[in-house]
Amino acid sequence: MKKILSALIILIFSFGNAQKLDNIKSGEVLNYRIHYGLLNAGTATLTTLMTTYKGKPHFYVKGYGKTTGAVRAFFKVEDHYESFINYNTGLPSYYVRNVQEGGYTQHFQTVFNHDNSSLILTDKEKNTSQIIKTTRDVQDMLSAFYYLRSLDASSLRVGSVKKLNVWIDDELFPFQIKVVGTENVKTKFGTINCLKIVPQVMSGRVFKDREGVTLWVSNDKNYVPIAIKAELAVGSLKASLESYKNVKYPLKF
């Protein structure tokens, strides 16, 4: 359960090609509640602000996830993420992952150079840096989320598959999403029509097919994640939209 709870928080942040971020509005805030059965297991928040990075327009995105209540008593999670995402390309320029998950801690900072498909990875805990070659148009966990949300409707038709490479921790993960259908989803705000999406990492240790993760995003230009569900051997974990503000287009509940 511990591993899957961490993965679920990551999935909220993680939804390649360059893509202008026209569908995102500065000042947007998305809050999620994570449940394990009837228990409140955690929360996750995403905030977005337009700024500049090295003289170019960027979205500064912050993600924060934590366990709460009884779950926090035996497994404390405090995950902080930051990303500067180029507004015109949708690609990350600078990324921070600073996490505490149980007794495990990690603090990485990544500077991307998309011109030569490389990055500089700094381990703040070990005080080391290294240059790493990557693939073209690599995303981080936050920028991947906004890349997905900036696609047009023709790219997210039922049956379509989108592939991208996501930088997680200190390695690259081939990642894909498949749109398997549409579904009306009940929420605290009312019922909303959603695209039903199955995310899958084709290799790696963070996500596994057997975890049975399904993602529902609003079937509109916002593509806001409304709910995420991870099937477990016993029960399931679910994240649901708790509150939102400053989305670019009205959500039609």
Q: pLDDT tens across 83-119, in order? A: 999 999 999 999 999 988 788 888 999 999 999 999 9
- pLDDT average, residue stretch 120-143: 93
Residue 1's pLDDT band (boundaries 50, 70, 90)?
very low
Between strands 161-168 and 139-140, the pairing is parallel
Among 133, 128, 52, which residue's Cα sits nearest to residue 87? 52
What percent of the chain has pLDDT above 90?
49
Q: What does the pLDDT look like over 48-65, one tens digit per residue?
A: 999 999 999 999 999 998
Q: Do the domain assignments include residue 78?
A: yes
Residue 9's pLDDT band (boundaries 50, 70, 90)?
low
- pLDDT average, residue stretch 193-209: 66
Do residues 220 and 252 lie in contact, with contact meaning Cβ atoms separated by under 8 Å?
yes
Q: Do the domain assignments include residue 250?
A: no
Distance CA 106, CA 104 (A): 7
Q: Do the domain assignments include residue 112?
A: yes
- pLDDT average, residue stretch 16-38: 82
pLDDT at site 57: 95
- pLDDT average, residue stretch 149-168: 86
Is pLDDT at 209 greater than 80 in this prediction? no
Could you tell me the residue range of the domain that residue 62 belongs to? Answer: 2-241
Do residues 97 and 77 lie in contact, with contact meaning Cβ atoms separated by under 8 Å?
no
Mean pLDDT of the chain: 85
Q: What does the pLDDT look like over 65-86, one tens digit per residue?
A: 898 888 788 788 889 999 999 9
DSSP codes joined into one string, the chain: -HHHHHHHHHHHH--------TT--TT-EEEEEEEETTEEEEEEEEEEEEEEETTEEEEEEEEEEEE-HHHHHH--EEEEEEEEEETTT--EEEEEEEEEETTEEEEEEEEEETTTTEEEEEETTTTEEEEEE--TT-EEHHHHHHHHHTS-GGGG-TT-EEEEEEEETTEEEEEEEEEEEEEEEEETTEEEEEEEEEEEESSSSS--GGG-EEEEEESSSS--EEEEEEE-SSSEEEEEEEEEE--SS----
Residue 234's pLDDT band (boundaries 50, 70, 90)?
low
Among 246, 251, 245, 248, which residue's Cα sits nearest to residue 216? 251
Residue 208's pLDDT band (boundaries 50, 70, 90)?
very low
Q: Do the domain assignments include residue 248?
A: no
pLDDT at site 203: 42
Q: Do the domain assignments include residue 246?
A: no
Among 216, 218, 221, 219, which residue's Cα sits nearest to residue 238? 216
Do residues 199 and 11 lie in contact, with contact meaning Cβ atoms separated by under 8 Å?
yes
pLDDT at site 235: 67
Partner residues linked to 171 by β-bridges: 168
Q: Do the domain assignments include residue 13?
A: yes
pLDDT at site 232: 64
Tell me the residue type at 156.
L
- pLDDT average, residue stretch 16-24: 69
Q: Do the domain assignments include residue 54?
A: yes
Q: Do the domain assignments include residue 69?
A: yes
Counted domains in the chain? 1
HSE on the CB side for 51, CA within 13 Å? 14
